[in-house]
Amino acid sequence: MEAAARSKTIAAIEDRLAQIEPGTPRAHVLEAARAFKNNWVELGQRLAEVLDRKLYEKWGYDSFDRYVTAELHLKRETAYKLVRTFSFVRAQKPEYLEPERREQLPPITVVDFISKKQERDELPPDQLSTFTEQAFENSWGPRTVSAKWRDLVSDDRQEIEGDDKSVRAVRRARELAERLNKALIEIPGLDARALDALNDILQTLDGTAA
């Protein structure tokens, strides 16, 4: 079933490609989507450009989400995962974007794992940088990166064992508030008071964590 679904997706993308002028940015993204299974870096790069420059508007779509689902046949979560992981590599380990080093990249699930930890500020920058370096240099897989992370943060958890529940509750609340903030920003015409209220909540949570 999975192979059949994949074949239908590729066929749909190729049908769209036949309608697009070759060599254009839009065609490049479609080609990267077709090759996604073997080249997530290129598709992540193309999608990041589409999102940053809002190219989807020129192509007749009112949102990035609509573009990736309707034209590329990607799930919304997959598209943002690709953008997030590519952006992380570009910022933190750009040398791995060189063609001769792309095969040395860890799996996308590993890069995504680390990028989420960075977004949530779960470790001081120097510790996370060391962790990232080890993951890339040693080509850690998903299980290894999870195990190494648990080992790394276990000491910190023991130090706050007495306040463990409250610390975790604040952390979860802040993660949810940050995700909501990102979603609200993408809503056209949203009353600015909603964002102001959410910022007040984030500041309160920061004070609680301190």
What residues contact residue 148 under an 8 Å CB cut-off, 6+ apart? 131, 134, 135, 140
Identify the pLDDT of residue 160: 47
Q: Is residue 15 part of a domain?
A: yes
Which of these, 57, 133, 45, 53, lies nearest to 92 by C-alpha position?
Answer: 133
Identify the pLDDT of residue 184: 77
Identify the pLDDT of residue 115: 92
Q: State both tokens at 177.
A: 């508030």
Q: Is the pTM of this model over 0.85?
A: no
> Contacts for 200-209 with beta carbons within 8 Å, 24 or more apart?
201/177, 202/174, 202/177, 202/178, 205/170, 205/173, 205/174, 205/177, 206/174, 208/170, 209/167, 209/170, 209/171, 209/174
Q: Which of 100, 128, 145 is the last residue of a domain?
A: 100
Q: Which of 100, 129, 148 is the last residue of a domain?
A: 100
Q: Is residue 185 part of a domain?
A: yes
pLDDT in tens, 54-106: 999 999 999 999 999 999 989 999 999 999 999 999 999 999 998 888 878 88
Same domain, 92 and 182: no
Q: Is residue 180 part of a domain?
A: yes
Which of these, 2, 55, 64, 76, lies nearest to 10 by C-alpha position?
Answer: 2
Same domain, 95 and 188: no
Q: Which of 100, 122, 142 is the last residue of a domain?
A: 100
Q: Is residue 203 part of a domain?
A: yes
Q: How far apart are CA 194 and CA 17, in angstroms?
A: 41
Identify the pLDDT of residue 147: 92
**Domain, as residue range, for 19:** 1-100
Q: How far apart are CA 74 and CA 40, in angstroms?
A: 12
Q: How many domains does the chain have?
A: 2
Q: Is residue 23 part of a domain?
A: yes
Q: Is residue 75 part of a domain?
A: yes
Q: Is residue 120 part of a domain?
A: no
pLDDT in tens, 140-185: 988 999 999 988 887 555 554 445 566 667 777 878 877 787 777 7
Identify the pLDDT of residue 3: 42
Same domain, 2 and 82: yes
pLDDT category at 38 given cuts 50, 70, 90 is low
Q: Is residue 175 part of a domain?
A: yes
